[in-house]
Structure 1
Amino acid sequence: MQRLLRRNLPISRQRVITCDCIKQLFASVCSSVFYLRVARSSIYSTTTTNSDTQTKDMAVTRTNAISKQKFDYLLVLDFEATCDNKSRLIPQEIIEFPCLKVNAKTLQIESQFHQYVQPQVHKQITPFCTELTGIIQDMVDGKPHLKETLEAFHEWMLSEGLMKDGVSSIFVTCGDWDLKTMLPSQCKYFNIQPHPVFSRWINIKKSFANLTGVFPRGMMGMLSKLNIPHKGRHHSGIDDCKNIASILITMIQQGHIFQQTSHPEKL
């Protein structure tokens, strides 16, 4: 029809009609682009809002998981003791006494106790012990014996508010050896009565098995399983405590709730 009209109209009039058609087409295209941009903007806004909501929900979930811990503080403990590869030392004696105070809500290491201890029976550190732990004779000579170290540790716990009513804490060890075997045996040998606080602990190996379904051989296996890089020297008491604390914190971040694994028996 337009072709028939154009044939009967003057050339100038045909140009006007053509321009009008172009204008209408351009207006239609601009309108479509505008609505497309509005729609895309709405979709992006909704996606961003949903993403922000999910992020906030994840943060809330993580906070809730941390707040569910049964203890206010987790005290990471890892003794090093006299040893030899040629004979069994009796008694075996603690020569490094480290402990980290981990806030179970903030997951921050708030304080540490670290004391080298002078052995009383086998006073010379063996070459094997030095090779294993990095502890040399000069590091223990002139240092407090176990009894004095336990007294200093008790003072540290008091100063950190760990003995206050309403404040709960528990030791965390890599295995049961530290508080089930090592400390009780040495205390018995020297007729020392340890504080009842040492009768309660968490064996992080058992906790790790509950979380992952795999019982670890040791600290290095747990670090590897959780993709945590090892730091410091293995079998340095204080370095081991720091690595165990990293395992502990990661497990809490994954939602694990720590529970006492030791039997509530008196030492």
Structure 2
Amino acid sequence: MYVERPPSAGLAGRLACGWHRVSEAAFTQLVVPDACVDLIWGAEGLYVAGPDTGPMPAALEAGETLAGVRFRPGAVGGFFGVPLQELRDSRVRLSDLPVGPGLLAELTKAAQTWPAEAAPPGLRAQVEARVRLLQTAVGRRLAASAGSPSVDPAAPAIATALGRGRSVAEVAWDLGYSERQLQRRSLLAFGYAPKTLQRIVRFQRALRLARAGTPLAEVAVTAGYADQAHLANDVKRLSGVRLSRLL
């Protein structure tokens, strides 16, 4: 069972959601690129799932639990203390990152303030509690660094324009950047070059349309693909499976 919860109001600008998964049987979950970065609490501790450029299968055992918070595309900034492209296509232990000691201290502090009588019974309740602890720790860490510039204010405009089918040259021109400046800002904000970011946001838009019941020929046109074959090929490259299976 996989469940997403909206973040608290104060974190909505940086986090897309808190989420948890309780695996009822052993299986492999296919994780596909979405331009997001997740902080995950799993069986072996805390780790960061960086921005992916292709499918990342994740094997789960029966009874295994995961709790996480998901940063919005372009909203990570310098939170983890390393350039985002260094986390691309990687799963990195939190303790190996500069933010690790401080964030683990915030988690410990948050856990200590949890009332003893409120310790939740049951596996699902416990993993939901972990999500809340993660949000609390991330919120405190963000508040502590509020005075330092971290997130590129142009990131949403870059992703939106690329997602609407504008070319890299057009987006750079619209925002007043050279293509080299756009490349640098995109790598810092998303961990991707603009062309890769464009493919991923277009892919995610196509998935949303298809899941809403839009006919695939219309999905291809609306999401900015040349035709339905282009859509099918791009989905296969980014997810490793056909669109029908992914849906």
Bigger proportion of residues as strand: 2
TM-score norm. by structure 2 comes to: 0.29
TM-score norm. by structure 1 comes to: 0.27
Radius of gyration: which is bigger? 1
